Amino acid sequence: MFIKLAPSILSADFSDLKNEVKKLEKSGADLVHIDVMDGCFVENITIGAPVIKSLRKNTNLFFDVHLMVINPEKHIEKFIESGADNITVHAETTYHLDALLNRIKSFGKKASVAINPATPICLIENVLGVVDMVLVMTVNPGWGGQKFIHYTLEKIRNLSELRTKKGYDFEIEVDGGINEQTVIECVKAGANVIVAGSYVFENEDIERAIKKLKESVEK
């Protein structure tokens, strides 16, 4: 499967997001990963739909919106209107996962599900035929710059096997602790959408960082 690189703007300069996104556009990013945190599901509070709407006017890049909020059903319409191309909801945040995913799809947008490191695949097994992508969290959500959790690789492998066995076509995204080494392990396990925050933005040269990650998996 084609590898896509999705820099997370969580590690970008929030006072200059417009230019940060423009930089990503010029640097070969395939998607922009946007982390929405509510201070309840996770400790941090980041950005919401109004900020995404403002950014939308400045780029045509694909907006991969990762909702880390409780009661996501309350907010879906606002994020659709803001210009999200994909909305990912956490399986741990809703009682009605199937209904929510189908509602996102009814707006013509991609609908994806995320699971925390400790959440087993069986929790989302019944919606694997509904989703466009499964986001396997490779750190506990809430912060950038954390250490990759290795046991999540087995979940990626199992998901990839299930996909083949059942003939599904969802993509597998990984998020958290991605660097030149961990990216190789994730892709080997079956992931093809790679989120990277601190690795990209803490590098002096964003373009070089993106290129390096892509090259690591092409070897």
Catalytic residues: 35, 175
* Positions in 117-146 near ligand DX5 (CB under 6 A): 139, 141-142, 144-146
Instruction: State both tokens at 96.
Output: 């009605």
Surface-to-core class of residue 95, CB atoms within 10 Å of its CB (0-12 exposed, 13-18 middle, 19+ buried): exposed
72 belongs to the binding site for ligand DX5 (CB under 6 A)? no
Applying CB under 6 A, among 8, 88, 93, 112 the residue interacting with ligand DX5 is 8
Q: Determine the Cα–Cα distance for residues 28 and 49; give it in Å rounded to an integer.
A: 25
- 175 marked as part of a ligand binding site: yes
35 belongs to the binding site for Zn ion (CB under 5 A)? yes
Give min distance, CB of 87 to Zn ion, in A: 12
The site partner of 86 among Zn ion, ligand DX5, none (C-beta below 5 to 8 Å per kind) is none
DSSP state of 53: H
Answer whether 7's CB lies under 8 Å from 29's CB: yes
Question: Alpha carbon of 209 to those of 135, 151, 154, 201: distances in Å?
Answer: 22, 26, 27, 8
Binding site for ligand DX5 (CB under 6 A): 8, 10-11, 33, 35, 66, 139, 141-142, 144-146, 175-178, 195-199
Q: Which residues are annotated as a binding site for substrate?
A: 8, 66, 175-177, 197-198
